[in-house]
Structure 1
Amino acid sequence: MKQTKIYISGQISGLTPEEYTANFTAAATRLTAQGYAVINPLNNGVDPSEPWREQMKADIRLLLDCDAIYMLANWELSNGATLEREIAKGLGLTVEYERRPLHRDIKRAILVAMAVPFKYIVNDSRGRWYVYARMIYAHHCKKRGVSTQAIAEETKHDTSTIHYHLRRYENEYKYNREFRAAAEKVATLLSNKLTTPSDVSI
C-alpha cells in the first residue's frame, strides 16, 4: 500500500534555527511513526541565506508532489505557511493540523473588515489599527465564554494586556468613531455567518 506523502509547514521567520528545527523535527518523528512518508522542507537543500522567494519556490515544488500537508501549531504566524496551506487547499490535498485553528470566523471577519491577518494580532505591534484588531478579537472571544487566560495564550500576550483590551473596548466603542465603524463591520460579518472569499485566507 502506497504511503501518504505529507509535507510539514510552519513558522520559520522570527524563530531561531534551533527553535524551528526542533518544531519540524518533532513533527517529522510523530508523522513517521504514524506511517506517513514525511517531506520536511528544512531538508530541501536550499541555502537559508537565499531570498525568501527562492526558498518558497523550492518548498512549493516539494509540496506539489505530496498528498497532504501538516500545519504546525504556529502556521498562522507565517506568510509562507499560509501560502502553502492555500496552495494545498487549491490542489485538493488533505490538510492536517497539529492544533486546530481556533475562532476562525472571528479571524476571517477581522481580516475582511480591517485587512489585519491574525499574525498581526499576535505580534506585539503598537500600531493603532493592530491594537484595535486585538481588542475586537479579544471582545468576541470573551463573548463566547473564552477565558481571559485562553485568549492570552492564543494571542501570545499576557493576561493583564487582554484584561486591558477588554476593559478599553467599551470606551473605544462609545467615543472612537473609527474604532466603532471597524467593530460594527466585524460584528455584522459575524452575524451574517461570513464565508471566506476564495482570495482571502486565515
Structure 2
Amino acid sequence: MKRIYISGPMTGLPGLNHGAFHQTAQQLRALGYDVVNPADTPAPSEGAHWEAWMKADLVQMLTCDTVALLPGWEASKGAHLELHVAHRVGMNVVSVAELHHQELEDISA
C-alpha cells in the first residue's frame, strides 16, 4: 500500500482549508491508501509559527512515497516547499485529480 501525503493551500483560507484536506484523506483511504494528512498534525513544540509547522509537516511527508497535490497548491508557499523537497528526494508527485482518474480507470479495466 502506498503511503501518501496531502499537500495544498492552508494559509489565509477559511478554517485553514482543513475541510478539503479531511475530505481528500477520507477519499484516498477509501481507495486503499495509507494517508498522512497535515491537517491532523499536532501543534509543533517550537510554537505556531509557519516555519515550525512546515518543519513538522516535512518530517511527516518524508515518511511517505507519494505527495498528492490539492487544487490551488500553486498559490501555497508551503506546498511549493513540499514539492521542491519531494522532487529532490525522488518522491512521486501527483495531483489528487490524477489519483481519482487513475483509480477509476483501474476499476473499469
TM-score by length of 2: 0.82
Q: Which runs of 5+ in 2 are unaligned?
A: 99-109
| Aligned partner letter, 1:42 | A
Aligned residues: 96
1:82 counterpart = 2:91: no
Q: How far apart, CA to CA, are the structure 1 residues paired with 2:36 and 2:27? A: 13
Moved over 6 A (4+): none
Match of 1:44 in 2: 41
Match of 1:158 in 2: none
The alpha carbon displacement at 1:99 in A equals 4.2
RCO (CA 8 Å, sep 6+): is it higher in 1 or 2?
2
Q: Which runs of 5+ in 1 are unaligned?
A: 101-202
- Give CA deviations for 1:84-139 in whole Å, capped at 9, x if unaligned: 01111111111110247xxxxxxxxxxxxxxxxxxxxxxxxxxxxxxxxxxxxxxx
Q: How far apart, CA to CA, are the structure 1 residues paired with 2:71 and 2:58? A: 20
Match of 2:92 in 1: 94
**Alignment equivalent of 1:70, drawn from 68, 71, 75:** 68
Superposition pairs of residues 134-153 of structure 1, within 5 angstroms: none
Question: CA RMSD, aligned part only?
Answer: 1.5
Match of 1:34 in 2: 31
TM-score by length of 1: 0.45
Identical aligned residues as a percent: 36
1:23 counterpart = 2:20: yes
The alpha carbon displacement at 1:38 in A equals 0.2
Match of 2:55 in 1: 57
Q: How far apart, CA to CA, are the structure 2 residues paired with 1:14 and 1:98? A: 21
